[in-house]
Amino acid sequence: MFLRKKRPFSPADAPASANEAADDSRHVRRQLESLIEQARRNQEIMRRHQQLDIAFISAAGFLDLARSLFELLPASSELDVVTLFMLDADYGIRRMLADLHIDAARLPHLIFIDDESELGEISVELDRPLLGAYKAELHGRLFPEPAPAPASVAIMPLLRHGRLIGCLNLGSFDASRFHGSMATDFIEHRASIVAICLENVLNQERLKHIGLTDPLTGISNRRYIERRLLEEIGRSRRQEYALSCMYIDIDHFKQINDRHGHAAGDEVLREVAGRIKAELRLSDALGRFGGEEFVVVLVDAGLADARGVAERIRTSIADHPLLLSGQTRMNVTASIGVATLVNQVRAEAPQSAAERLIARADAALYQAKQGGRNRVVEAA
């Protein structure tokens, strides 16, 4: 029998397998550590995203949400630029924000558009997020000055009930941050949260707006004017400018109602409100105080300015007959009392200063009525 000679034992044999085992375990440990580190990082990312979602969801109003989008989102997601485009075809959102004194111009990265086509070529593809390298001809209008041009972008369509309400545009200076082959589930999830939150805060603002709006004429109501006058008194004292107030009353309004009916009277109220508004600056405030009475707060206007504006309003009503329901022509006039706050007694509480200003304008209006109507009278 052929006996194979056994290879003599080499001392290197045992250590070799032990070394391999040790190497293996070190390798496994390193892998484990790296997985744990990865899990910790992911947890941290999840936590930041959750906090961001909570900030979006709990936004107290439009400005609060905008702050989260333009400040928190870039900071927590390491983005270099974020812009938000909002569709506002009938100017309704902008008008409401202006009425509520929400100064959207203070948000340079918020852009309102009248039509989707203003988004350019990408508008046709906006049924899903678009990720990739920044191309000026394609994305330039989504990151207008003063936004810096990014290197890669994620364009997130904001959809509600299948309708595009805007788009949130994320930009990074890192060219590899967003690319076409990335999964978009997370971005879609985030876009749907932002869209819902935007709709929510706009509805909140609409509610505030309704509470301060006169439903018949669409202008502000008495509550709004009283509140606004208090704010304006504070501001005019700090910045030392004159503040004026106008009390306007349509003449013989009862006869209009009696002769032409209540519906025609309502139409006259709407028309007159429009004529008054057309003569005012955006910074002035017009409200219906009740019945056929309107009050205007004129910011940064002394008595001479206020008188000028009041004359313009008076003639714009008296010189051009109203056209009711597009056919009935009606001559309408209004009387106006004007009062100004100058050299304010700073010790006087804003509330009593406001009441006194309105009362003086009202007394001047009474004089105008007594003097024959269709005239402007300045308060003594």
Does 257 engage in binding with ligand GTP (CB under 6 A)?
yes
Catalytic residue among 226, 267, 292, 378: 292
* Residue 318 CB, nearest approach to ligand GTP (Å): 13
DSSP E strands, the chain: 81-87, 110-113, 130-133, 152-160, 163-172, 243-250, 285-290, 293-299, 322-324, 328-330, 334-341, 376-378
Q: In whole angstroms, what is the distance from residue 134 CA to residue 140 CA?
A: 8
Task: Give the closest residue to 69 by CA, choosing from 109, 96, 126.
Answer: 109
Q: Is 292 a catalytic residue?
A: yes
CA atoms within 13 A on the CB side of 104: 17
Q: What string of H, E and C letters represents the secondary structure of 94-143?
A: HHHHHHCCCCHHHCCCEEEECCHHHHHHHHHHCCCCEEEECCHHHHHHHC
* Residue 333 CB, nearest approach to ligand GTP (Å): 9
Q: What is the per-residue binding string for ligand GTP in 264-283, x denoting contact by CB under 6 A?
A: -xx--x--------------
Among 99, 205, 284, 292, binds ligand GTP (CB under 6 A): 292
Burial class (CB in 10 A: 0-12, 13-18, 19+), 69: buried
Among 64-72, 105-113, 244-252, 347-355, which window interacts with ligand GTP (CB under 6 A)?
A: 244-252
Among 135, 189, 252, 320, binds ligand GTP (CB under 6 A): 252
Nearer residue to ligand GTP within complex by CB, 88 or 214: 214
In our burial notation (b when 16+ CB lie closer than 10 A, e otherwise), range 303-339 reads beebbebbebbbebbbeeebebeeeeeeebebbbbbb
Q: What are phi and psi of 325, to 5 degrees?
A: 45, 35
Nearer residue to ligand GTP within complex by CB, 146 or 215: 215
Nearer residue to ligand GTP within complex by CB, 20 or 258: 258
Does 77 engage in binding with ligand GTP (CB under 6 A)?
no
Whether 119 contacts 126, CB under 8 Å: yes
Nearer residue to ligand GTP within complex by CB, 27 or 254: 254
Q: Kindly report the length of the chain.
A: 380
Does 259 engage in binding with ligand GTP (CB under 6 A)?
no
Does 254 engage in binding with ligand GTP (CB under 6 A)?
yes
Q: What are phi and psi of 338, to 5 degrees?
A: -125, 135
Q: In whole angstroms, what is the distance from residue 313 CA to residue 278 CA?
A: 9
Nearer residue to ligand GTP within complex by CB, 84 or 334: 334
Q: Is the peptide bond before 146 cis (omega within 30 degrees of 0)?
A: yes
Nearer residue to ligand GTP within complex by CB, 272 or 301: 272
* Residue 338 CB, nearest approach to ligand GTP (Å): 17
Among 41-49, 113-121, 147-155, 254-262, which window interacts with ligand GTP (CB under 6 A)?
A: 254-262
Does 320 engage in binding with ligand GTP (CB under 6 A)?
no
Does 291 engage in binding with ligand GTP (CB under 6 A)?
yes
Nearest residue to ligand GTP, using CB? 265
Q: Which tokens belong to 184?
A: 């978009």
Among 99, 249, 279, 362, binds ligand GTP (CB under 6 A): 249
Nearer residue to ligand GTP within complex by CB, 62 or 224: 224
Residues near 293 by Cβ (< 8 Å), separated by ≥ 6?
Answer: 247, 248, 249
Q: Which tokens belong to 104?
A: 């959207």
* Residue 267 CB, nearest approach to ligand GTP (Å): 8
Among 29, 101, 262, 281, binds ligand GTP (CB under 6 A): 262
Does 369 engage in binding with ligand GTP (CB under 6 A)?
yes
Active site amino acids: 292
**Binding interface with ligand GTP (CB under 6 A):** 216, 249-254, 257, 262, 265-266, 269, 291-292, 369, 373
